[in-house]
Structure 1
Amino acid sequence: MDELQLIEERTETVPLADSGALGGARARLMAEIAVAGTENVAPLRKRRPWVWTGVGAAGLAAAITAVVALAPAGLEPPTAAADPVAVLRGAAEAALKTPDNPPKPNQFVYTKTKQPDGVRESWLSADGTHDGLIKMPDGSTDPVPGCRDGRAQVYKGDELVKGVTEPCTRWPHYRPDLPTDVDAMFAYLNANHSGEDGDYNAMGKDVVALANETYLPPAVRAALYGAAAKVPGLRAVDHVQDGAGRPGVGITWPLKPEDDPEVAKPTMIVFAAGTFLYLGGNGAAVTASGVVDAVGQRP
């Protein structure tokens, strides 16, 4: 009995699912294919093509039944068909394939985000020593003083107070120093989190902050998404849109048990459906980014 005859016989008794019902399952399958065989994030390797090997007629029949009966007629697809871990690992693989054009110390990391109240633009110092700027959606500007020799210029509003400095901590926005290993990155996030111990929603905000306006080398960005996949209680939200209306799949971090769900909202990070490229988080969509030579320039 050949495979085509077997398929014909099985589909006579098992109803085919419509394309709409299979959409979520396809997204999940493609995510798993993207990361098949990887428990930790690693550089892409050449993979062998899929082949049927060592499968008897009974095994093939069961496989065909599973495919055609994946979403039987009359049943609604699940609310979230995507697996959050598979999506994040797929995002890590996608990050590894992006080109790396690291900024020079005197350059700036430019990011444009579409937010609910308008457009935000930022020019942030690659090495943290040069004065940057954030242009808010309402048109106002927020200077970001560089930190040189432990001191930073003082601003009153957006006006420089001449001759006055204050202690500072240098915060570069090009981070080749961050871990490229998933476990090491997870340890880094735990050691430098913004919330209390065990507050994974706060960790989610830290992940979004790094992903949004920091230039991360591909291996670092891949480790960031791989580390995020280690958080327990993640949820996937299918068929979401980012702040710019682009379709994607959202990943939310768990709230603490004592959090009031009416007040506390889970952090969400959004990846493009199909490609798993990063789109944004917390309602803000990254619509442009790059490296420029001076504040005010755009890539």
Structure 2
Amino acid sequence: MDELKLISERTSPVPLAESAALAAARARLMDEIAAEGTENVVPLRKQRRWVWTGVGAAGLAAAITAVVALTPAGLEPPAAAADPVAVLRSAAAVALKTPDTPPKPDQFVYTKTKQPDGEREAWLSADGTHDGLIKMADGSSFPVPGCRNGLAQAYKGEEPLKGVMEPCTPSPGYRQDLPTDVDAMFAHLNADNADHSGKMGKDVVALANENYLPPAVRAALYGAAAKMPGLRAVDHATDGAGRPGVGITWPLKPEDDPKVAKPEMIVFAADTFLYLGGNGTAVTASGVVDAVGQRP
């Protein structure tokens, strides 16, 4: 195959980075070339250039892709966004630097997500004691009753059952109760997911989608995800809104049929490492509001 054509195909969808962001990647590239052996690199001193004779076209294309990949300032670029651990750790570093404006207890965490069947909107009580609402893509909605003094209003569908209360535990939309330490977060996620399967991936997506996570909590979530075995990166993935990014997938369960089952995937923007969504979903709007029905 034509090497220049291969390199062009690998690098054409990747935006160019500023020169300051290339130093680490360039050094890594030269280390890879040096590892091939000095007999494979022939300097032509008069022309002041290098001839690479021992590096395969595919390897060279991959290396060049890694060099030109756009990287947030101050972060070590993952190798062509192909290393799931590097991607998740970069996402954690970005999350940790995100400005934090905690909601007040009587406010609501608003999220709009695009799903295969349309858009879903959620208003979740910040402290879990106020009545929230979820509006489904088909136009229907159902209440999320607040839990006060250990009791919540019971519903049948969208209708409250008069005088019927049921035991509850507050489920806050503002998750300041979660660990900020990576190991503690990993233990939390691993509590009922010992096989590290897609169920754990679904838990990560559920937390990332419709909750307000303090920066340290979100960073711990991504850092804990990076500790899970069997992760795989998917270059040029898209979220439910069609936005391009890099995907991270969890392994299927042993009993899952790989011809039918679809791995759980979380998608990050390839240039900023910001969270975009999960399998077939996309977080298109989020924020904190004062009342159900309001939008940021």
Structure 2 length-normalised TM: 0.77
Q: 1:182: how far off?
A: 0.9
Structure 1 position 21 matched with structure 2 position 10:
yes
Q: 1:160: how far off?
A: 1.9
Ranges in structure 1 where 5+ consecutive residues have no aligned partner = 1-13, 35-47
| Residue matched to 1:218 | 215
Task: Check 1:83–1:149 CA distance in 2 against 1; reply closer, same or farther (3 A cut).
Answer: same
| Residue matched to 1:11 | none
| Residue matched to 1:202 | 199
Paired with 1:134 and 1:67, the residues of 2 have a C-alpha distance of: 59
| Residue matched to 2:241 | 244
Ranges in structure 2 where 5+ consecutive residues have no aligned partner = 42-48, 64-79
Structure 2 counterpart of 1:83, one-letter code: D
Task: Check 1:281–1:50 CA distance in 2 against 1; reply closer, same or farther (3 A cut).
Answer: closer
Paired with 2:26 and 2:270, the residues of 1 have a C-alpha distance of: 26
Structure 2 counterpart of 1:163, one-letter code: G
Task: Check 1:268–1:51 CA distance in 2 against 1; reply closer, same or farther (3 A cut).
Answer: closer
CA contact (8 A) 2:196 2:228 kept: no
| Residue matched to 1:169 | 169
CA contact (8 A) 1:178 1:220 kept: yes
CA contact (8 A) 1:16 1:69 kept: no
Percent identity, please: 70
Structure 1 position 155 matched with structure 2 position 166:
no
Q: Deviations over 1:144-178 (max 9, x none)?
A: 11111111001122122222101112111111121
Paired with 2:53 and 2:120, the residues of 1 have a C-alpha distance of: 47
Paired with 2:58 and 2:258, the residues of 1 have a C-alpha distance of: 35
Which range moved further: 155-164 or 236-245?
Answer: 155-164
| Residue matched to 1:107 | 107
Task: Check 1:50–1:189 CA distance in 2 against 1; reply closer, same or farther (3 A cut).
Answer: closer
Paired with 1:160 and 1:213, the residues of 2 have a C-alpha distance of: 24
| Residue matched to 1:4 | none
Paired with 1:99 and 1:74, the residues of 2 have a C-alpha distance of: 39
Paired with 1:201 and 1:243, the residues of 2 have a C-alpha distance of: 18
Paired with 1:65 and 1:257, the residues of 2 have a C-alpha distance of: 49
| Residue matched to 2:117 | 117
SS at match of 2:57: coil
| Residue matched to 1:297 | 294
**RMSD value, Cα:** 3.7
**Counterpart selection for 2:259 from 257, 262, 269:** 262
SS at match of 2:114: strand
